[in-house]
């Protein structure tokens, strides 16, 4: 698949993605849903997002996403359930990081709810999405720039932030938008790549949050079909 085809595929997807985002932006999430989405984003680091979703629902079924839960045995309980195989696409798989993610989720609960605060208060404390993203990464251990950007998009807080993963970085390199793909990406590098992608997204007439989601879909399909 040539770069023009990739670009055209992204352009074709943007209207439908943006329409869906606009529809979801009218949703008012409960505090429980805000916590559920945050847990899912914490779990999504270095694993398929679909797996993090399935694992999150398994935690929910086991009563471990209750924001009023007793935190005394919370990390231990999370660890036990995170070690359970889950059904992903008709096969049972194990989550890769049960111990570290149990610790991070329990720590996030303590810093947010254990301190008498809540996610909604944190969100309402920042008018600037970039400042809010940084605040979340400072509060929640294990929540990187990508996960924090995805979280704010999932709760319809902002579409002006980029979710930059390997699929997006590969696209940027193929299209000549960016010259390199770092093996690991610092906050400074992330912001640099984000600024480049924001500028590129202007060509489509949609926010970067819409364009990079279209890129993600196109690159996943292209990779699956052996085009890239």
pLDDT digits 0-9 by tens, 3-18? 889 999 999 999 999 9
pLDDT digits 0-9 by tens, 100-125? 999 999 999 999 999 999 999 999 99
Q: How far apart are CA 97 and CA 51, in angstroms?
A: 12
- Asked if 50 and 88 count as a contact pair (C-beta separation under 8 A), the reply is yes
DSSP assignment letter at 113: T
With 70 as the cut, is the pLDDT of residue 182 above it?
no
Instruction: Retrieve residue 117's tokens.
Output: 């605060």
With 90 as the cut, is the pLDDT of residue 218 above it?
yes
Number of neighbours of residue 158 by Cβ within 10 angstroms: 17
User: pLDDT class for 183, splitting at 50, 70, 90?
Assistant: low
3-24+162-224 to CATH, choices 1.10.1670.10, 3.90.550.10, 3.20.20.450, 3.30.830.10? 1.10.1670.10
CB within 8 A of 196, min separation 6: which ones?
A: 172, 177, 178
Structural domain boundaries in the chain: 3-24+162-224, 31-154
DSSP-derived secondary structure for 195-227: HHHHHHHTTTTS-HHHHHHHHHHHHHHHHHTT-
Class of domain 31-154: mainly alpha
User: pLDDT class for 195, splitting at 50, 70, 90?
Assistant: very high
What's residue 173's pLDDT? 92
User: pLDDT class for 1, splitting at 50, 70, 90?
Assistant: low
Q: How far apart are CA 48 and CA 91, in angstroms?
A: 14
Q: How far apart are CA 228 and CA 223, in angstroms?
A: 5
């Amino acid at each position: 698949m040539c770069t023009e085809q990739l670009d055209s595929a992204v352009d074709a997807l943007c209207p439908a993605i943006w329409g869906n985002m606009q529809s979801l932006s009218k949703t008012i999430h409960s505090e429980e849903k805000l916590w559920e989405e945050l847990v899912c984003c914490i779990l999504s680091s270095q694993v398929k997002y679909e797996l993090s979703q399935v694992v999150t629902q398994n935690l929910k079924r086991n009563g471990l996403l209750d924001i009023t839960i007793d935190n005394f045995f919370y990390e231990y309980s999370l660890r036990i359930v995170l070690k359970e195989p889950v059904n992903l696409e008709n096969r049972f798989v194990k989550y890769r990081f049960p111990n570290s993610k149990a610790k991070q989720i329990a720590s996030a609960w303590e810093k947010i709810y254990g301190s008498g605060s809540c996610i909604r208060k944190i969100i309402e404390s920042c008018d600037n999405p970039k400042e809010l993203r940084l605040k979340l990464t400072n509060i929640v251990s294990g929540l990187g720039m990508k996960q924090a950007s995805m979280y704010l998009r999932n709760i319809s807080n902002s579409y002006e932030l980029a979710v930059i993963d390997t699929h997006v970085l590969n696209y940027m390199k193929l299209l000549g938008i960016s010259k390199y793909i770092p093996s690991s990406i610092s906050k400074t590098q992330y912001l640099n790549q984000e600024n480049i992608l924001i500028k590129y997204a202007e060509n489509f007439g949609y926010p970067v949050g819409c364009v990079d989601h279209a890129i993600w879909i196109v690159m996943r399909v292209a990779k699956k079909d052996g085009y890239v």
